[in-house]
């Protein structure tokens, strides 16, 4: 189902509708944030990659980058849970006739934020090696990936819960805004 989301996302979400994918969703969430910390942030620290925003409180850049390796995983999981909770609460409040469940919302978000992330593993490493992950290259690359992730969230809500396009697009914007905003608080 993970790779199917890349080449046939509508069919993947149709299958997800009738599948218990919770265990895999938890695993995908953990893998994404552990691998990102181990691959991207560790290499950015080792290569002294520049930051888009200076660390707060006068913390030295290398010190911040080092500790970022350890904060990234738990903070990423917190970001994902915040997105799931926000989408679930908005869905329950405003789209009552669609029977939105927390469990399926978690599965949609986990899967939608995993499959598009896969190209960032080699992509980030390549950007670190070639342009030292300078923000002017790294940020647009990740905005493209985030757009794909949000499109999948929108599609997932349409296919699984039957939410209309405008409503699912709004939920995707909420997901993207939370990811971008909360990610920007810690990740430099």
The residue extents of the domains of the chain are 23-186
Rounded-to-integer distance, Cα 109 and Cα 157, Å:
10
Q: How far apart are the first and last CA of the chain?
A: 32
- DSSP 8-state assignment for residue 7: H
Output the pLDDT for position 83: 98
Output the pLDDT for position 188: 58
Task: Yes or no: say if 142 and 152 are a contact pair by the CB < 8 Å rule.
Answer: no
Q: Which residues contact 4 (CB under 8 A, 6 or more apart)?
A: 11, 12, 15
Output the pLDDT for position 1: 77
Cα of 45 vs its chain's centroid, Å? 21
Q: What are residue 157's phi and psi, to 5 degrees? A: -65, -35
Rounded-to-integer distance, Cα 154 and Cα 142, Å:
18
Tell me the Ramachandran region of residue 58: left when phi exceeds 0, alpha when psi lies from -120 to 50, beta otherwise: left
* Ordered per-residue pLDDT tens for the chain, 188 residues: 788 888 999 999 999 999 999 999 999 999 999 999 999 999 999 999 999 888 888 899 999 999 999 999 999 999 999 999 999 999 988 887 888 999 999 999 999 999 999 999 999 999 999 998 999 999 999 999 999 999 999 999 999 999 999 999 999 999 999 999 998 777 75
- The token duo for 107 is 């599965």
- The pTM (predicted TM-score) of the whole model is 0.94
Output the pLDDT for position 124: 95
């Amino acid at each position: 189902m993970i790779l199917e989301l890349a080449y046939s996302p509508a069919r993947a979400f149709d299958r997800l509708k009738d599948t218990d994918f919770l265990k895999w969703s938890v695993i995908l969430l953990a893998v994404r944030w552990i691998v990102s910390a181990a691959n991207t942030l560790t290499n950015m620290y080792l290569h002294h990659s520049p930051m888009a925003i200076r660390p707060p409180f006068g913390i030295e850049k290398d010190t911040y980058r080092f500790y970022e390796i350890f904060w990234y995983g738990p903070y990423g999981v917190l970001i994902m849970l915040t997105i799931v909770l926000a989408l679930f609460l908005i869905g329950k409040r405003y789209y009552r006739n669609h029977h939105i469940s927390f469990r399926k919302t978690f599965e949609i978000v986990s899967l939608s934020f995993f499959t598009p992330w896969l190209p960032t593993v080699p992509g980030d490493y390549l950007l670190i090696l070639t342009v030292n992950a300078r923000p002017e290259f790294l940020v647009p690359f990740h905005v493209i990936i985030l757009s794909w992730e949000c499109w999948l969230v929108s599609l997932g809500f349409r296919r699984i819960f039957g939410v209309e396009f405008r409503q699912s697009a709004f939920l995707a914007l909420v997901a993207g805004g939370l990811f971008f905003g909360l990610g920007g608080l810690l990740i430099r």
